[in-house]
Structure 1
Amino acid sequence: MENDAVEARLSAVYPELPPGERAIVRVLLDDYPFAALGSLRALAERAGVSPPTASRLFDRLGFGGFADFQAAVRDGARERSRLHEFVARSPGPRSPAASPEAGSSGGSSRAGASELRRAAEDLRSGLDGTLAAVAEPLFEAGAALLAEAGAVWALGGPLSELAAEYLIRQLASLRPGAQRVPDSAQARARTVLDLGAADVVVAYDFRRYSPDTARFVHAARARGARLVLVTDAWESPLAAQAEVLIRLPREAAGPIAPLAHEIAVTELLLVATAARLVPAQRLADLDALTQTL
């Protein structure tokens, strides 16, 4: 069994598992394949479960025990990003002779077009799956918090921070008090210092889940701030802290990364928020000011 097949198997069985075994799978997928390569006891401790609970997972997966599972992981162990995986299975660059400028529609050009169509289909089907999976009441609940909050702060991880930035840029046009969580620890401390029960944090947190995001959210929750969390099917460790939890389905990964799906969900959240705020005058004033500055 190849490494990616082991990882896919973990993802596939996740929804069917009891809570303790889900915790093991989350740890494995969050730090795959490295979390699988230590001792069973260390893995169980990371997941907050007992070693027998971890052992039951590997029996359920059809391995002869944890040692057999580790052997399967080691056989194909490799660390690749989704982009690396996509590029690795794509055709190589076209030669000059096969380029349109050379007047040729060579095999590599046709292969490239085929790969692009397949990627577009993956993206389209993933987006459809995401929008179908997130129920309207979740958007309405999130919009209620964003519309009524004293202030809204958003943050994300290395890629999902782009979705957080998009949310704040658009939300700031609809209402005051919408800001990105700053990057430095000192600036974050000042932000948390002024948070309270009227404020809302929107966090985008996907595998590999961000320790920096977790630290900020825990500190914000300790001050009473409420949390809207956008995460993946395996759920960020912050899921239990969320007042509104929006999970993107496993199929939403797309050909490279799920950013398009995160943006789509953010768009709908903004639409639902705008309907509650009716910000026509604010937008008109913003347009007028933009013309003069």
Structure 2
Amino acid sequence: MGNEQVAARLGAVYPELPPGERAVVRVLLDDYPYAALGSLRALAERAGVSPPTASRLFDRLGFGGFADFQSAVRADARLQDRSRLHEFVAAAGEPAEERTGEPTEEPTEEPARAGHTGRDSLRGPAGVLGAAEDLRRGLDVTLEAVTGPLVTTVAALLAESRSVWALGGPLSELAAEYLVRQLAGLRSGAHRVPESPSARARALLDVGPSDLVVAYDFRRYSPGTARFVLAARERGARLVLVTDAWESPLAPEAHALVRLPREAAGPIAPLTHEIAVTELLLVATASRLAPAARLADLDALTHALTRPE
């Protein structure tokens, strides 16, 4: 089992694990593969669990123990590869020695500065093709990480909940808006969470145990998103959380956790991947509904409201 396969396996089993073993997986994926190369005790301490708890994870994964797990990680020839974000910087011609400390691999929801991509080599045709390939590869890995059972679970929640409320951060709110616009064509009761605290409070008055919140939360995680989600959870609502490899603090609250893998990282927030995963979930949701009549009504109403006088 190679390095990428080990990481994919960790991500795939994560939703099924008990809390202690989830903590170990979070540490491993947060600093992969290097977190796997120390001692079992050091890994357990970083995860805040006991060594036996950490050891049970590797037994569950089918390894003969922690040493076998480490061997599988080391087996990949790309073990010494630098982080993807560091590669973007290096491709732009910035010497690695001039970087301070280790690469952060920290995707943010902050927009890139106008006219700056974080990769000067994009100015040439070869650079554009390389960036396109990076995006395509990241998209493939992202979609592979969203397993069939997870898609089925989320689609059932989107189709069967009384109401669906979606929200996101400074950029991921675009994915939330897309989800609501498309879902509203498939079923009633799809809402964007409003922006102001007072409007959010009024929305929460109507949230209950039959409702679903879909939150897009990426590093650096949004305090406003967390406040609304926690308030909705107190009122019994269920949560679908779409987050990154580093994992939002809201993860323990999620009924279904969609983690975009580390390969989705780059010099700007990977909105393409968020939209692609949202599309996948919407297609699965549509298959559980009978939206033909509703969509036909929507087309007719849209035509009636937009035709010239």
Per the normalisation by structure 1, the TM-score is 0.68
Q: Aligned in 2, Cα 1:255/1:124: closer, same or farther, shift over 3 Å?
A: farther
Secondary structure of 1:277 counterpart: coil
**Structure 2: distance between partners of 1:125 and 1:82:** 22
Deviations 1:177-210 (A, max 9, x none): 1010000000001111211000000000000011
Letter of the 1:257 counterpart: A
Aligned residue runs from structure 1 range 47-126, under 5 A: 83=112, 87-91=117-121, 112-126=124-138
Matched residue, 1:98: none
Compute the displacement of 1:89 (Å).
Answer: 3.3
> What is the CA-CA distance between 1:242 and the residue it aligns to?
0.3
| Alpha-carbon distance between aligned partners in 1 of 2:34 and 2:248, rounded to the nearest angstrom | 14
Do the aligned residues in 2 keep the contact of 1:154 with 1:164 (CA within 8 Å)? Answer: yes
Q: How many angstroms does 1:75 deviate by?
A: 5.6
Q: Give the direction of change, closer, same or farther, for the CA distance of 1:152–1:13 in structure 2 (3 Å limit).
A: same
Structure 2 partner of 1:280: 292
1:161, 1:77 → 2: CA distance?
Answer: 27
- Once residues 211 and 160 of structure 1 are traced to their aligned partners in structure 2, the CA distance between those partners, rounded to angstroms, is 14
Q: 1:98-247 counterparts in 2 under 5 A? A: 112-247=124-259
Of residues 251, 274, 293, the one that matches 1:262 is 274
Q: CA separation of 1:137/1:292 partners in 2, compared to 1, >3 Å: closer, same or farther?
A: same
- Equivalent-residue separation in structure 1 for 2:235 and 2:35 (angstroms): 33
Distance 2:47 2:210 in 1: 33
- Can you give the 5+ residue segments of structure 1 that lack an aligned partner in the other structure? 1-8, 24-71, 93-110
Q: 2:30, 2:246 within 8 Å by CA — same for their partners in 1?
A: no
Looking at structure 2, the residues matched to 75 and 155 of structure 1 have their Cα atoms a distance apart, in angstroms, of: 34
Identity, % of aligned positions: 64
Q: Could you tell me which of 11, 31, 36 is aligned with 1:11?
A: 31
Letter of the structure 1 residue corresponding to residue 151 of structure 2: F
Q: Structure 1 residues 281, 247: closer, same or farther in 2, change over 3 A? A: same
Do the aligned partners of residues 291 and 89 (structure 1) sit closer, same or farther apart at CA in structure 2, a change above 3 Å counting?
closer
The alpha-carbon deviation at position 18 of structure 1 amounts to 4.5
Letter matched to residue 276 of structure 1: R
Q: Flag the 1:76–1:225 CA change in 2: closer, same or farther, 3 A.
A: closer
What letter is aligned with 1:90?
A: D
Does structure 2 conserve the Cα–Cα contact (< 8 Å) formed by 1:160 and 1:259?
yes
Q: Which runs of 4+ in 1 moved over 6 A?
A: 76-82
Deviation at 1:77, TM superposition (A): 9.7
Q: What is the CA distance between 1:21 and its match in structure 2?
A: 1.9
Matching residue of 2:46: 21
Question: How large is the RMSD of aligned CA atoms in angstroms?
Answer: 2.9
Structure with the larger helix share: 1
- Pair 15,87 (structure 1): closer, same or farther in 2 beyond 3 Å: same
Distance 1:170 1:75, change over 3 A: closer
1:62-83 CA-partner distances (Å, limit 9, x unpaired): xxxxxxxxxx996689999684
Query: What SS is found at the alignment partner of 2:245?
Result: coil
Measured after TM superposition, the shift of residue 19 of structure 1 is 6.4
CA contact (8 A) 1:155 1:202 kept: yes
Check the 8 A contact 1:14/1:234 in 2, yes or no.
no
